[in-house]
Amino acid sequence: MPLLHTLPFIAYLLAGLLLTRYFLLDTVTSQHRLVVNLMLLVAVSSHGYILFEMWQHNGVFFGLTVSVSFVAWVVATLLFLTSFTKPIHSLGMLVYPLSAIAVIVSFLLPGSEGKLLSISIAAHVFLSIGAYALLALAVGQSILLSIQERLLHEHNFNTFVDKLPALQTMEDFLYQTLKMGFLLLTLSLISGYLYISDFFTQQLTYKTILSVMAWIGFAVILFGHMIFGWRGKLIVLSTQVAFAVLVLSYFGTKFFIEFLAA
């Protein structure tokens, strides 16, 4: 494997392992944060450089595995930058190892370089990727929130719980991320309607239906939280289900078109 792919893979893994070590061991202090940040700077920079290759003079190459890698890079970069102002470092235990896997998968299965997107449609795709990235962070946060709630309910005050932010802080970040992700998803659907002329010819019918279903799911979640005060397990489970539908809408249909229907 080339050094350019090895670098982000190792850096992501080391960052994830260091964060896991910090949150699970009593003897570890926060002094290792500088090392984690350096690892992440190397990881997101080298990963971004790799993805720059998808830009071509006549369009943007955006196959399935490249899309997965791009989503992983956006999620990791957002988490890295946001962690300087928000106490969300714990999400790195989930995000960074998955980003490392995405780098390897895109290298081993690069896809067909003949699949190019025009710049106009690429703008729609990038909006979609941004929505997926923010909503993926929300799902990761919902997983940690459910673990935290369960441990607190069982009065299991271990090192992991002690180093997590307060429950209210965790919930607030979840709702903020959901709102931003929902906004980008809305813009993505609007741009798709404007840029894509024939959904049936371009085999996008199922993708559109599932995307709208996911949009409705997130809209109900946010509406229920704001109007009826929904929270806890209901919000966590609903967020994960809506995101699963969204992932299926893009990556599921893309997998079918590129691999099964090819």
pTM for this prediction:
0.84
- What's the longest Cα–Cα distance across the chain? 60
Q: Average the pLDDT over 185-189 and give the result.
A: 91
Cα angle at 43 between 244 and 249, to 5 degrees? 20
Task: Please tell me the least confidently modeled range out of 20-24, 32-36, 84-88, 204-208.
Answer: 204-208
Beta bridge partners of 117: 60
Per-residue pLDDT reduced to its tens digit, 98-109: 999 999 998 888
Which letter does DSSP use for residue 52 in this model? G
Alpha carbon distance 142, 234 (integer Å)? 11
Q: Which amino acid is at 116?
A: L
Q: Is the distance from CB of 151 to CB of 225 less than 8 angstroms?
A: no
pLDDT at position 164:
85
Asked if 39 and 83 count as a contact pair (C-beta separation under 8 A), the reply is: no
Strands 55-56 and 116-117: unpaired
Greater confidence, 218 or 206?
Answer: 218
d(CA 76, CA 81): 9
CA neighbours within 13 Å on the CB side: how many for 252?
14
Write out pLDDT tens, residues 31-79: 678 889 999 999 999 999 988 876 655 556 667 788 889 889 999 999 9
- Count of CB atoms within 10 A of residue 59's CB? 16
CB within 8 Å of 141: residues ≥ 6 apart = 88, 91, 170, 173, 174, 177
What is the pLDDT, as a whole number, of residue 12? 97
Nearest to 19 by CA among 7, 4, 33: 33
Cα–Cα distance for residue pair 101/65, rounded to 1 Å = 11
Helix (H, G, I), strand (E, B) or coil at 59: strand
Q: Which two tokens stand for residue 218?
A: 């997130």
